[in-house]
Chains A and B, each alone.
Chain A
Amino acid sequence: MGETVAYFEEIDIGDEINELEICPTTADVIRFVDVARMQSGRFTDNEYARKEGLPGAIVPGNMSLGFLSRMLTEFFPTGTLKELTANFRATVPHNTPLICSGVVTEKQSRNGEHLVFCDVMLGNEDGERYVQGTAQIALPSRAD
């Protein structure tokens, strides 16, 4: 398996998706919430976030979702992301190295589609899991 996977036949259950390492800074979060129209002090202002009972300003769940999507579309460049679910288990701090990872749990060909199912996760370098979810990607097949 190379750096990316183009065809359904190139990946198997148990294979790991190439990890994506990111470190969203406060400036990155400010840019994201502006583009995503989700301005709130809880994402950009430590003092405001603390008043809401948070440890400080946090990375929005939607931004974490974007990082997981990016990991999948970079690893499966010919694929189509069909579904992505994410449970936000813990708040994600700014300026912290994060790792997106995933593993293939199932493969199915049905109704003319070749689908790969994955478990996906976003956590820190100490193994703490902030976001956990699943994904479904349709890939082209060499048999088509």
Chain B
Amino acid sequence: MLEYDTSWIGKEFDRYTYNVTKDEIIEFAQSIGETNPLYTDEEYAQATPYGSIVAPPTFCIVFRSHARLPDLKLSYGKRGFDGGKECVFLAPIRPGDTITGVDRIAQVYEKTGRSGSMIFIVRESELSNQRGEKVAVVRQSLIRRD
């Protein structure tokens, strides 16, 4: 049975803030080859219901905590890698926004696959803008194994 420090589940372990610029949004959109001018062309975007450039949905992944995960006192799992993401997009992110992220450990569980046992640590980042509106929730599954 998986043993770890369950007291971290649901507890905030990091909080961070980013200011969003128009240049960053345009650079991000261009870096994945976005063709929709809503993300890059202010004049075009002003004529849409959005009224200004907005960020492509997955721009929310740039708001990253640099804090290490809390020590969960896991019984095994020395190596780690990114197993996947779940993004819920709740409101547009715009130039001039100040985004605050709050990180928690949402879940820890074990799975046994072909190559042995793996531990999944689900890190949840809740992102809100300067008006307190939640703009996105990102859940990252970190996989650890020996």
Task: Tell me the complex Cα distance, A133–B141, Å.
Answer: 13
- Minimum CB–CB distance for B121 against chain A, Å: 15
Contact check, B32 vs A67: say whether CB atoms are below 8 A apart.
yes
Task: Tell me the complex Cα distance, A67–B56, Å.
Answer: 11
Looking at the complex, which of A7-15, A77-85, A107-115, A121-129 is the stretch in contact with chain B?
A77-85
Task: Tell me the complex Cα distance, A142–B44, Å.
Answer: 24
Which A41-81 residues have a C-beta within 8 angstroms of B? 53, 61-63, 65-67, 69-70, 73-74, 77, 80-81
Task: Tell me the complex Cα distance, A123–B62, Å.
Answer: 24
- Minimum CB–CB distance for A127 against chain B, Å: 20
Give the number of A-B contacts (CB < 8 Å). Answer: 82
Contact check, B32 vs A85: say whether CB atoms are below 8 A apart.
no
Chain A residues near B24: list those with CB within 8 A: 35
Contact check, A62 vs B84: say whether CB atoms are below 8 A apart.
no
Contact check, B86 vs A83: say whether CB atoms are below 8 A apart.
yes
Contact check, B64 vs A37: say whether CB atoms are below 8 A apart.
yes
Task: Tell me the complex Cα distance, A22–B56, Å.
Answer: 18
Tell yes or no: B69 within 8 A of A by CB.
no
Contact check, B56 vs A73: say whether CB atoms are below 8 A apart.
yes
Residue of A nearest to B23 (CB): A35
Tell yes or no: B83 within 8 A of A by CB.
yes
- Of the residues A70, A80, A81, A83, contact of B32 by C-beta under 8 Å: A70
Contact check, A38 vs B64: say whether CB atoms are below 8 A apart.
yes
Tell yes or no: A120 within 8 A of B by CB.
no
Take A35-B62, A62-B58 as given contacts and tell me if A83 and B31 are in contact as well, using a CB distance cutoff of 8 Å: no
Task: Tell me the complex Cα distance, A111–B58, Å.
Answer: 25
Which B66-92 residues have a C-beta within 8 angstroms of A? 79, 81-89
What residues make up the interface of A, taking CB atoms closer than 8 Å to B? 22, 28, 31-32, 35-38, 53, 61-63, 65-67, 69-70, 73-74, 77, 80-88, 133
Q: Which are the 7 A-B pairs with shortest beta-carbon distances?
A: A66-B32, A87-B84, A32-B31, A85-B86, A62-B61, A81-B57, A69-B58
What residues make up the interface of B, taking CB atoms closer than 8 Å to A? 24, 27-28, 31-36, 56-58, 61-62, 64, 79, 81-89, 141
